[in-house]
Amino acid sequence: MPLHPQCKAFLDMLASGGGPPLHELPLAEARKVPRMMIELCGPEEPVAHVENRTVAGPVQPIPIRVYRPSDADNQPALMFFHGGGFVICDLESHDRPCRNLANQSGCVVIAVDYRLAPEHPFPAAPEDCYAVTRYVAEHAGEFGVDANRIAVSGDSAGGNLAAVVAMMARDRGGPALRFQLLIYPTTDFEDHSPSIREFDGNFLTIPTMNWFTDSYVPNVADRRTPYASPLRATDLRGLPPAMVITAECDPLRDQGEGYARKLQDAGVPVQARRYEGMIHPFFNLAGIVDAGRTAIADSASAVRAALSAAHV
């Protein structure tokens, strides 16, 4: 299927704005760009309660944002790690999708403002995300959540972090996670699959992806380790069931789908879903791309089913 007209209109809008590409901007300016796109996520949905707080991290306190769809206790929890190439984005850039996921999944969504590169390169981000996930499980009462019903999720770089946290939880003796929602995840920093070049320029470009990689994993040897590139893991057994979302016209499509297949080969239940005609950030374009709203609803439904009390 060709590029969807709604995605083409978005790319045309970006092109008409002119200016240098993201990787050529000063870092402070590049980090302002996602704030300019917040309205494209759709309207800000009210949720029952939103709280900003911090939890202890391996180096410094980690800011988090907690979205409660109701005031009930013992709710399932969905950890959310934002995308942005490990370099840009924050709690604000992904606030609206988190609200949507909370309302539609019935989960307490806990978004993590992990340390960003290049100031804090690998493994700062996954260590922060794992620390918060473990804290939530060990202090479930503070959050009004059920420690036995926790899932991890994220988009792009955040999808990488969700996959890695699932590995860390398995390797480090907990917490026991029930599900992983991986939205067009980065899974291989040495990817040379066909989609990388076929869809170069559909929002993501090779120079920008190289900038993200060089910023986050400056040590080339680290790029081959499973906690950086999950697709390179030799053993994916024992990981929680997954939903892997990919976009047809996304440079990262093949590595996301490759990871889904590798999970399946390891005996992990996987729902792999490709959205035809879509580009990399479509999940965050629910205000202008219909499939973005569909993907949020599909994701929330999968999380709700995975964390339902009937499965305990």
Active site residues: 156, 250, 280
Please give the span between the terminal C-alpha atoms of the chain, in angstroms, as a whole number.
40
Sign of the C-alpha dihedral computed for residues 119, 92, 24 and 87 taken in this order:
positive
Distance CA 244, CA 155 (A): 10
Distance CA 197, CA 263 (A): 25
Instruction: Spell out the residues 6+ positions from residue 232 whose beta carbon is closer than 8 angstroms to its own.
Output: 188, 190, 224, 225, 226
Distance CA 12, CA 165 (A): 36
Amino acid at 169: A
Strand pairing report for 270-275 and 242-247: parallel
Strand pairing report for 145-155 and 179-183: parallel
Strands in the chain per DSSP E: 49-55, 62-68, 75-81, 108-112, 145-155, 179-183, 242-247, 270-275
Q: Is 54 in contact with 61 (CB distance < 8 Å)?
A: yes
Q: Is 242 in contact with 261 (CB distance < 8 Å)?
A: no
Q: What is the DSSP string of 122-139?
A: TTHHHHHHHHHHHHHHHT
Ramachandran angles phi, psi of 203, nearest 5°? 80, -60
42: left (phi over 0), alpha (psi -120 to 50) or beta: left
CA dihedral 192, 216, 160, 171 (to 10 degrees): 110
